[in-house]
Every structure is written in C-alpha cells, then in structure tokens.
Amino acid sequence: MLQSTAQLLRKQTGFSKTSSLVLFLLTACIFSAFCIYRVKSIDYEHWGRQSRPGEWFWFKDGFKGQAMKWHLRSVIPAGALMPFQFLPIIRQKSIAIHRILGRVVLILLLIGNITAVIVSPWAFGGTVTTQAACVSLAILITVAMAKGIRGIRSGNLDVHRVWMLRTWAYAGSILTMRPINILFHIMVRIFQPNKFQTVSTCEQLASIYDSMSPPSNEMISHYPMCLDDTTNKTLVVVLAKLSRSRPDQTSALTTLTFGAALWAGTLINVVLIEWYLQATEDETSRLKMVCMNKRRGKETDEKSL
C-alpha cells in the first residue's frame, strides 16, 4: 500500500526516486506551508498585532515600516511558490511556466533580501549579532541566486540546479532557526534564568505594556525610574527571561538569542545542502552530460549548414 502510494505520488510529481520525493515533502513543502501559514502577515496591521512585543514600536510607520511591509509582501509569496520550481513535472510539461515563475520568485526573494538588510538594525533588538547574521544570509542568498541565473544563461543546467538548491536552502535558514531559538529560550530558563540582561527605553517599554491585552499599567511598578521620564529616552535594564506575564522580559530574551539562532540555522542549512549535493552527484553529472550532448548536437548542425 505504502509503495503503491509512493509510486503514484512520484508519477504525479515527476520524481524518479522516492527518496527525492520524501526530501521534497520534508523541506520545500514544509517551508511553503510555513509561508502559507504566515500569509495573514501580508496584512500589515495583523502582523503588528502578532509580532514580537516591542517590534511594532519600531515598524508601525515611516521608512522602517515601509521596509518591513515590503519584506513581508515579498518573502512570504516567494516561499509559498518556491516548491513549484522544484517539481520535475512542471519542467517536463511546461518549461515556460518554470521560467516565468522562476523570474517572479527570484525578484520577490531579491526584494526580501534588500528589505531584510534595511530592517536588521531594529528587528529583534537589532544587536550586532542579529545584523551580521541578516546581512551575511542576504549576501549568501543573493550570490547563490546570481550564480544560478548565470548558470542557466550559459546553458549549464548542472550549475543552475546546484546554485538554485543552495539559494533556497540558505533562505530556509529562517525556518530552521525558529526551533533553535525556542531551544535557546528553554536552555536559558533552565540553566541561567537570571543572568542575562538587555537595555531598553521607557518609551519602548511603554509600547510593550500598552500592546498587552488588556493593556497593563504595571510598567511603573517594575520600572519606577520611568515615572519621571519626560523625554522617554531613559535607558532601563531589562532582565532577559522567558515569562508569560512579563512580555518585556521575553522580548529581551529574544533580543539576546535571535542572532545566535539565525547563525546556527544558517550553518545547519549550509551543511545539509552540501551533504545533499554530494549525495545526488549522479544527477549533477547527468545534467552535465545533457548539456554537453546539446552542445555537440548544435555544433554538428552548424557544421552541416
């Protein structure tokens, strides 16, 4: 029964190996499902209500808000459409659809990279670690994308395949890092619950407490120095701790862990995609032979003219 189901799925999708189909379902389809689940975030007001405590303070309006808005409107559709680019059946039945969809998805991904770099100084606390991780990941994705485009323009299907797989493996780091970030939260709570702190301002803390449902007036009891703060710029030390009742502390913890989690997620995906490329080197060799045979055929046709 299981074998017949796998054969049917392979026939419908165009995969020649069950292992390739399984990997497709566990990687591309899960990433796409994550993006579809987050599609409501394209509604910017909805994203603001669901975002990490303190994020809306930075991105509710202005240039930063526009950058975040376009980041969400580009990366979410790009990720949702991505699996169609790796379905063999689409390339076999209609290469034109593959090409058109590829251009659309890569343009969206490029917009997402640019806007990610723009918002990185404020997103998730905007620490140096977070900014460095975001910029490095954007560069990795953009370089891989450029190499993939160059490969197909020069007629090298093998090069195109390798670098497009790397492009989306790198982009998938943003999903890989999420369980890692949760793990970091749990580790801090268990092993060092009261060690780490971050710095915020009274104005930002006020926005966090005002965004609670219902809004809380407990901020002054936690941060009495903000009572006489007329400039809203007074710096306040916030304990980084996982707490349901203290969103300011949970936000501080995410500020500490996000950058490290993104670095870890990127590293894991880089290693995994290189392992996959090594494991499927026969497919790369096959595509290389296809390209060589096409060139030879073209040269023969030209000589006959």
Residue 253: its pLDDT value, please? 95
CA distance 71 to 115: 5
Model-level pTM?
0.91
Residue 234's SS3 state is: coil
Q: What is the pLDDT of residue 130?
A: 97
* Cα–Cα distance, 55 to 207 (Å, whole number): 9
Task: Show Cβ contacts of residue 114 under 8 Å, excluding neighbours closer than 6 positions.
Answer: 138
Q: How many CA atoms lie within 13 A of 163 on its CB side?
A: 20
How far apart, in Å, are the Cα atoms of 37 and each of 42, 57, 65, 79?
Answer: 11, 24, 22, 11
pLDDT band at 291 (very low <50, low <70, confident <90, very high): confident
**Is residue 148 scored above 60 in pLDDT?**
yes
**pLDDT at 113 exceeding the cut of 70:** yes
Lowest mean pLDDT among 22-26, 129-133, 145-149, 229-233: 229-233
- pLDDT of 303 above 70: no
By the 10 Å C-beta count (0-12 exposed, 13-18 middle, 19+ buried), 113 is classed as: buried
Q: What is the pLDDT at residue 230?
A: 62
Q: Give residue-wise pLDDT tens across range 4-62.
A: 777 888 888 888 888 888 899 999 999 999 999 999 999 999 999 889 888 999 999 89
- Predicted local confidence at residue 115, as pLDDT: 97
Beta-bridge mates of residue 199? 237
At residue 186, does pLDDT exceed 90? yes
The Cα 163–Cα 179 span in angstroms is: 26
What share of the chain has pLDDT > 90, as a percent? 66
Beta bridge partners of 197: 239
55, 70, 115, 134, 149 from 67: Cα distances, Å: 13, 5, 5, 14, 26
